[in-house]
Structure 1
Amino acid sequence: MNAPNITVSVDEPQWNSKPAWKLPGWAEPIIVASILFGAMYMTRRRNYRIFGASPSNDGYLDRLDSQGSSDALLAHSSDSDCEYEVVSTSKHPPKLRKWLCCVLATPNTSRFRNNIHSRVLQRFPFLIEMFYWIINYAFYRMTSITSQKIFAETGIWNVAQSHGIAVLEAEEYSWLSFLFTLREREIQQWFMHGHQDALTVLNKAYALIHIPGTVGFICWYYYVAPSFDTFAVARRTMTLTNFCAFITFIFYPCMPPRLLPAEYGFLDTVRHDDAQSVWMSGKYVNTLAAMPSMHFGYAFCIGMTLIYHSGLFRRTLERGESRKNTFWKMFYLAVGIGYPAFILTTIVATANHYFMDALVATCFVFFSFLCNKIFYVFIPLEDLMLYAIRADKPIPTTGDRFHERGGRI
């Protein structure tokens, strides 16, 4: 099996399509920030004041002993692994956390409930979600540096290129070849010959939908999910998928099709169209992270969550959740299927990913869903971090609108 077997002679047509518009560099961060801070406001705790007494809400927090999980890594349910027991008669007894095969005692942060930053968090609990996703993004930025150091002697570019060629060979010659009846270059060439305007749309979609769309989904689902437990499963699944991908990025750098030598028949249409995102530039962007496709991994996770949210395949609903009518069921089902399909078309047509990248991302999502509770091991660390900054854990507001009188607050 030799690399020349998958090289082709491609008649590249003249690139005629021109972007109709181009966002300035500051626009995308403003869009993402607007989504995040808009969600922070929408999910605020009503009738809770940062300055002054909030008797009604203080009582609510007292009943929960201020132990709702912040990021939650899990929620404050009676059967969760993070549940603690009172072990003394002191005003702020330590918490007992189940951790692997032992039990750890961690500080009780409720003593910091009235600190100003604690009250800000209680008023805007979505700030915790924003903080943990910033950590996710920071870990992604580290993958490029770490991978370059690991492959410094052999040369990361050569390693990534050999891995990219190996993916193409696996799709065409391995026992999995029956899954890949279409070839990536065939998809791109179809768009290049007579459908360049559509390809321009996909170039923009690749650059602009991934981060704002994913951030928007997290914000939206935090607000509409029937319970924080349900939201936390989706968020933990996406987070674990992230870390599975980050590990792969580090130890298996893979060149995207658009960066392969010209004889493999791919064109870097996003940069050719000058449609790249501001998030695709910078010193710490990992351009050799094709395997797996987090564009598709996120899209698939979002799609499955939307299908679950439709209630179409569920016989029972959560407390306070109402059965959706046929229109909304079909709407969520259509978007749940259509969004991942659109993203798959986008990443392949723009030569940013292989079909194999999407397959591996799908497997990571299923693995992460089954193993998402692994993040429970970080609960004691979360306790210590909050104790160190003298902050109390905010109670999530997800699901409140279902549980209050009239269904909304």
Structure 2
Amino acid sequence: MDLGLENLTATEEAQWNSTPAFKLPGWAEPLIVLVILFGAMFMTRKRDYRIFGRRPSTYKSGLGSDDTACFCGEFLGHDKRCEHDTQEYMVATNHTSTKRKLLGFTFEAPKTSRFRNNMHSRVLQRFLFLLEMFYWVINYLFYRMTASLNGLAVLKIEQQGLFNYMFPRELDIQQWFMHNHQAVLSILNKVYALIHIPGTVGFIAWYYYVAPSHSTFATVRRTMNLTNFKAFTTYILYPCMPPRLLPKEYGFLDTVRHDDAQSVWMSGKYVNSLAAMPSMHFGYAFCIGCTLVYHSGVFRKKLEYGEVRKPWARRFFYVGLGVGYPMMILITIIATANHYFLDAVVATAYVLIAFMGNKVFHIFVPLEDWLLWVIRVERPVPSTGERYSPVRYRM
């Protein structure tokens, strides 16, 4: 197999001598994720809303929302401060239907406030994070359905032009760890296996609670969702094997399997092993990092409504974490031979494009109206951002 890549082969094969740092039982990862999700449900519950009783309490958002909140995967409250955004503006009537003006079009859908007394509607009003869990399950199931040489083509592209001078060779990075720092590489194996799903779920749960407004949170979530769909489409159209699956003569070692550190979420017959391009490990990390930098307020002259300028120590903490987290993930995916540098570059581009076009998901709002009407659930009013009203400083 001669593709002009002879200089990529390893000159010396290092032996794996490191002892795995620790091993989690198979049930531990799902338990961690469940603890995060149900913990988020508890932390983000509507404290002044009661499920049981002859007449359930009526919840009115402190942000000026009403029962016609807009969700596209996003239950955005109708905030009068944001009425200039015609894509999120919605006109409610006093009749049995709701008119929404989205993406330049006007849609009409049935109102759902008549279902507020239904028990499942009350539960959803009390625990809004159930909706986030539902939409992320859809994302995960869609990935499991995306079930090769393209990896060699990626290496060839990286050898040419400016890219060859911008990044070191993936093989050199893994060999550096293999020959000198196998204990560190053993830790990175665990980082690769354990951080991706629990870390991302934990971030969504945390930001749902601390975001200055639900609109800001929904922008982040829509960006991640659109990045997902772009990546899943790429997996189908351009299946690409990671370096660890290349023939042995190219010198890469599957260190995660050598450490027996595979994640239960990334194993099984429905997992797509030819999904290196782009790297969603890095795509998520980059999106999370950008959000943390934004949340710090360091580069924002004007804060959102109700926000208070954070102390310098906390600002630098968020900036440091926002830069350090994606850098750690980048080193991890390369050192463990799970991705190429080009995978991370493409993932970065996907996140930026998704951020600029994330409101395309608003086109699904009328479908959600009808779905809620069919299952007889009142459209919930979001609570994200209420912690800043009245003005007070929190995380």
The 3 A distance-change label for structure 1 pair 220 and 96 is: same
What is the distance in 1 between the residues matched to 2:366 and 2:304? 29
* Candidates 364, 379, 383, aligned match of 1:393: 379
* Candidates 159, 178, 182, aligned match of 1:192: 178
The answer as to whether partners of 1:82 and 1:379 remain within 8 angstroms in 2 is: no
The answer as to whether partners of 1:48 and 1:54 remain within 8 angstroms in 2 is: no
In the TM superposition, residue 191 of structure 1 has moved relative to its aligned partner by: 0.2
Q: How big is the alpha-carbon RMSD for the aligned residues of Structure 1 and Structure 2?
A: 2.0
Question: Partner letter of residue 156 of structure 2?
Answer: E
* Candidates 47, 51, 76, aligned match of 2:78: 76
Pairing 1:36–2:37 present: yes
Match of 1:103, SS state, is strand
* Candidates 225, 229, 232, aligned match of 2:215: 229
* Candidates 107, 116, 121, aligned match of 2:119: 116
The 3 A distance-change label for structure 1 pair 390 and 16 is: same
Pairing 1:176–2:178 present: no
Q: Structure 2, unaligned stretches of length 5 or more? A: none
What is the distance in 2 between the residues matched to 1:343 and 1:391? 40
In the TM superposition, residue 74 of structure 1 has moved relative to its aligned partner by: 4.8
- Matched residue, 2:130: 127
Pairing 1:16–2:22 present: no
* Candidates 221, 234, 239, aligned match of 1:253: 239
The answer as to whether partners of 1:248 and 1:291 remain within 8 angstroms in 2 is: yes
Q: Structure 1, unaligned stretches of length 5 or more? A: 145-159
What is the distance in 2 between the residues matched to 1:304 and 1:405? 25
What is the distance in 2 between the residues matched to 1:259 and 1:56? 57
In the TM superposition, residue 101 of structure 1 has moved relative to its aligned partner by: 5.0
Q: Name the TM-score, length of structure 2 as normaliser.
A: 0.93
Pairing 1:95–2:98 present: yes
The answer as to whether partners of 1:3 and 1:165 remain within 8 angstroms in 2 is: no
Moved more, 166-175 or 38-47: 166-175
What is the distance in 1 between the residues matched to 2:75 and 2:344? 26
The answer as to whether partners of 1:73 and 1:376 remain within 8 angstroms in 2 is: no
What is the distance in 2 between the residues matched to 1:39 and 1:381? 27
- Matched residue, 2:291: 305
In the TM superposition, residue 406 of structure 1 has moved relative to its aligned partner by: 5.7
The answer as to whether partners of 2:145 and 2:270 remain within 8 angstroms in 1 is: yes
In the TM superposition, residue 14 of structure 1 has moved relative to its aligned partner by: 1.7
Pairing 1:167–2:170 present: no
The 3 A distance-change label for structure 1 pair 263 and 69 is: same
Pairing 1:276–2:262 present: yes
What is the distance in 1 between the residues matched to 2:60 and 2:171? 62
Aligned pair count reads 388
Match of 1:25, SS state, is coil
Question: Partner letter of residue 91 of structure 2?
Answer: E
- Matched residue, 1:154: none
Question: Partner letter of residue 311 of structure 1?
Answer: G
The answer as to whether partners of 2:61 and 2:386 remain within 8 angstroms in 1 is: no
Match of 1:219, SS state, is helix
Match of 2:219, SS state, is helix
* Candidates 299, 304, 311, aligned match of 1:325: 311
The 3 A distance-change label for structure 1 pair 329 and 321 is: same
The 3 A distance-change label for structure 1 pair 136 and 73 is: farther
Match of 1:122, SS state, is helix
Q: Percent identity?
A: 60
Match of 2:14, SS state, is coil
- Matched residue, 2:363: 377
In the TM superposition, residue 20 of structure 1 has moved relative to its aligned partner by: 2.9
Pairing 1:50–2:51 present: yes
The answer as to whether partners of 2:56 and 2:117 remain within 8 angstroms in 1 is: no
Higher helix share: 1
Match of 1:85, SS state, is strand
The answer as to whether partners of 1:226 and 1:398 remain within 8 angstroms in 2 is: yes
Task: Tell me the alpha carbon deviations over residues 90-119 of structure 1, each in whole angstroms, 9 at most, x when there is no partner.
Answer: 3x3x11223555322111111111111111
The 3 A distance-change label for structure 1 pair 350 and 360 is: same
The answer as to whether partners of 1:256 and 1:290 remain within 8 angstroms in 2 is: yes
- Matched residue, 1:148: none
In the TM superposition, residue 277 of structure 1 has moved relative to its aligned partner by: 0.7
The 3 A distance-change label for structure 1 pair 79 and 390 is: farther
Question: Partner letter of residue 125 of structure 1?
Answer: L
The 3 A distance-change label for structure 1 pair 187 and 407 is: closer
Task: Tell me the alpha carbon deviations over residues 336-362 of structure 1, each in whole angstroms, 9 at most, x when there is no partner.
Answer: 000000000000000000000000000
Question: Partner letter of residue 213 of structure 2?
Answer: S
* Candidates 80, 85, 102, aligned match of 2:91: 85
Match of 1:48, SS state, is coil
The answer as to whether partners of 1:8 and 1:265 remain within 8 angstroms in 2 is: yes
Paired residues for 1:275-294 under 5 Å: 275-294=261-280
The answer as to whether partners of 1:236 and 1:372 remain within 8 angstroms in 2 is: yes
